[in-house]
Amino acid sequence: MGTPEQLITQPLKHPFIEIMDTTLRDGEQTSGVSFLPHEKLMIARMLLDDLNVDRMEVASAKVSEGEKDAVKMITHYAANEGMLHKVEVLGFVDDHQSIDWIADCGGRVINLLAKGSLKHCRNQLGKLPEEHLDDIMRSIDYADSKDIAVNIYLEDWSSGMSDSPEYIYTMMDKLVRTPIRRFMLPDTLGITNPLQVIDFFRKMRRRYPEVHFDFHAHNDYDLAVSNSLAAVLCGAKGLHVTVNGLGERCGNAPLASVQVILRDQFEARTNIREEKLNDISRLVEEYSGIAVAPNQPIVGDNVFTQVAGVHADGDNKDNLYCNALVPERFGRSREYALGKTSGKANIELNLQKLGLQLTPEQMNKVTKRITELGDRKEIVTQDDLPYIVNDVLKHTTPEEKVKLISYMVTSTYGLKPIASIKVEINGSQYAAESTGDGQYDAFVKALRKIYKVNLGRTFPILANYAVTIPPGGRTDALVQTVITWRNGDKVIRTRGLDADQTEAAIKATLRMLNIFEESQ
C-alpha cells in the first residue's frame, strides 16, 4: 500500500467539512435506545438551532407509525425555520415505497441505501450488478419526479474496496452521471484502519475528483475517529457522527471528539458551535438512557477535573497543565478534585472558589482529613468542602442555616407515602406534612410546603437523581445518593452517604439547602 506519506493526497489548507449528525437514525440503533417522537423533535431542534449541524439524518423510512409522526414533526418545524434541506431520511431501493413515505412526511432529501460490495449485491439482494443499478436508476428518477433530492449510501463500501473494487467502479461510473448530490461511503462493519481508509479514499478521489464524498465510520475497533480524520486527509467533504458516539454495536464516531480534532489538529473549519456540545450530550444522555462515561473526551464529567495536587499547583502559577481544550470553550469550568492525591494546591483552589480563607495550621488539618477520606475511597466534592472545614475546625463557618430537627416517613402498600418533618431555617422552626410518589418525594414536598407557605419562597429544582452502592451487592452496603439541582443558570450537585437510601437523599438535600441559603 505504500507509506502514509505516499498514500495521502495533498490536503486542502483549512478545509471546510460538512457535519452530518445521524443520532436520530443510526444512533437510535443502539441496543435499548428508542426515542419518543417529542424527544426526537427536541434533539433535532437543538442540533439545528443550537449546535448548527449542516445536516441531520432523522429516521429510516417505513419503520413505524411513531417514526412517521416524529419525521412529520421534525420536517414541519424545519420547514418553518427554513432548514428543511438539512433534514434527511434513510430510504431503500424498494419500488419507490421509501420515497413515497418520505414525501408523505414532508421530507425533501432521501439517503438512498444501495449495495457497495458485490457480496451484498449477490447474496443479500440475489441480483446482478446491472439489475441493482437499474433499480437504483429508477429510484433516482422517481425521487426527482417527487422533487426529492438524493444522496446515496454505498453500503459495505469498505468491504467492497477490499474484495470487489471493480464492482464499486462500475456502480460509480454510471451513478456519477445522475443528479446524486453526495456519495456516502460507510465502513459498515467497522473493519478498516486509517491506512486502509487513506488508500481507499485516494483511489476514489483520483477516479472521481469532482464528487462530494462523505465518510460514515463505525467504532468496532475503536478507530471511528481516526478513520474519519484519515478520510478528511484524503479529501472527504463530509463526516457522519452521532452525539455521545451512539450507534449499532460499538457505535459511531462521536460528534464532540471529531469536532475538536478537526479544529485543533487539522485546522479544519465546521459550522459546529462548540459551546453547545455539552448541552446536546446531556440531552441525548437523558433521552437515550445511555450514560456518558466520566472520562469521555469533551463531554465526560471528569475530563476537566484535575486530581493531582502538582497539576493544581502548576495551573495556579501559569496554567502549566492546560491545553487547547479549555473547559470554557465548551460552556464548562475546570474543577480540582479532592482526595488523597490532591494536596494543598487543589484544596486552596477550591477554597478560593468558595471565598474561604484558612491559616496554615487550619489548612494542614483540612488537608489531613481529606487525605483520610480519599484513603477510604470516599468522594469529596467542592460542595462537601465547607462541611469538612466546619467539622475539622469545630467552628460555625459556614453557618448551618437549615437543620433537620425531626422527620418521619411512612410507606404502606396501596397508599401513598407520607412525610412529616420539622426543620429549623435561619433560627426559626417549621413543621409540615405531605404525601408523595415515594418517601423522598413526600419529604421534598413537605419541605417545599414550608418554603412556600411559611417563607413565601421556592428552592432549586431537582434535575437528576443517582444512587450508587459499593461492589458486592450487600444489603447493608452504604448508599451514595448524588442529586443535581438547578437554580436558574446555576447547577448545585450534592451527595449524601448512609445505609438508608432515603436518609442519604435527605442528607444531600439538606446540604443543597444550606448552600442555597448561604447564596441568598
Neighbours of 407 (CB within 10 A): 17
57, 67, 88, 155: the catalytic one is 155
Q: How far does Cα 417 stand from its chain's mean position?
A: 35
DSSP H or E segment with residue 161 = helix 157-163
What CA–CA distances, in Å, run from 163 to 160, 174, 376?
5, 20, 56
* Residue 274: all three cell numbers together: 462548540
Cβ atoms of residues 476 and 495 within 8 Å: no
What CA–CA distances, in Å, run from 53 to 180, 240, 284, 367, 438?
21, 11, 15, 46, 41
Cβ atoms of residues 375 and 342 within 8 Å: no
For 205, the 3-state DSSP assignment is helix
Q: Name which of 491, 493, 490, 472 is nearest 481 in CA terms.
A: 493
Cβ atoms of residues 457 and 463 within 8 Å: no
Cβ atoms of residues 121 and 115 within 8 Å: yes
* Residue 181: all three cell numbers together: 448530490
25, 182, 202, 495: the catalytic one is 25
Report which residue type is found at 307: V
Euclidean distance between CA atoms 208 and 177, whole angstroms = 11
Active site residue 25: yes
Euclidean distance between CA atoms 110 and 85, whole angstroms = 10
Active site residue 181: no
First to last CA, the chain: 67
For 188, the 3-state DSSP assignment is coil
Q: What residues are labeled active site?
A: 25, 155
